[in-house]
Amino acid sequence: MPYIVAGDGSGGSIGHAGAMVREISAAGTLPQARNPQLPYRICVVCLGNICRSPMAEVILRDELAAAGLAGKVEVDSAGTGDWHLGEAMDPGARAELSRRGYDGSEHEARQIQQSWLADYDLLLAMDRSNLASLRRMAAGNSELAGRIRLMRSFDPDAAAQAEVPDPYNGGPEEYAQVFDMVEPAARGLARLLAAAR
């Protein structure tokens, strides 16, 4: 599976619910790196991996590079469902990124697998449904479950349990709203990672 290193510009089945973990805010702590000698690995997860999570991947990669974390943090994305495997980013999502000066043209949708969870230091769910799906995948493994967070938990101004709504089949304003929710969360996460690295 391909991984995107911050700043380089390159382009399972689900079972029963597992251990519940407390959400953190940007003032909280990050899960420890699985291996401090390797880059910190993040996967952003939504439903189909064509709208929210690839937008967040691109935005987070940019925030990490701006924080001086190029090569120190790797970011990729995936969906919990298989409806869009191999597809490009949703045109509305790509247009919003382009409008803001970002490029989403290299994205190819993929579905997260249970076996991938142990590869990541942090898994970011876009909404509570995605969070529940990831927790079911981590069932019985409290260490993995402890690495799963809501994306907006890193936005210091977001309410507890704040979600990023799915803009699929919506208008430009829905995609703009996603961008405006993801950017402060990505910035908050980049600040925490910069302080930790």
Angle in degrees, CA 49, 25, 117, rounded to 5? 40
**What single string gives the DSSP state of each residue in 100-152?**
TT---TT----B--GGGGGG-SEEEESSHHHHHHHHHHTTT-HHHHTTEEEGG
Our answer to whether residue 166 is catalytic in this structure is yes
Our answer to whether residue 152 is catalytic in this structure is no
The single residue of 46, 149, 152, 187 carrying the catalytic annotation is: 46
Provide the strand spans (E) within the chain.
4-5, 40-46, 73-79, 122-125, 148-150
Kind of pairing, strands 4-5 and 73-79?
antiparallel
The single residue of 76, 121, 127, 166 carrying the catalytic annotation is: 166
Comparing CA positions, the residue from 137, 125, 145 lying closest to residue 42 is 125
Residue 171 has phi, psi (to 5 degrees) of -90, 180
The single residue of 41, 52, 147, 152 carrying the catalytic annotation is: 52
How distant is the alpha carbon of residue 158 from its chain centre?
16
Any idea which residues carry the catalytic annotation? 46, 52, 166
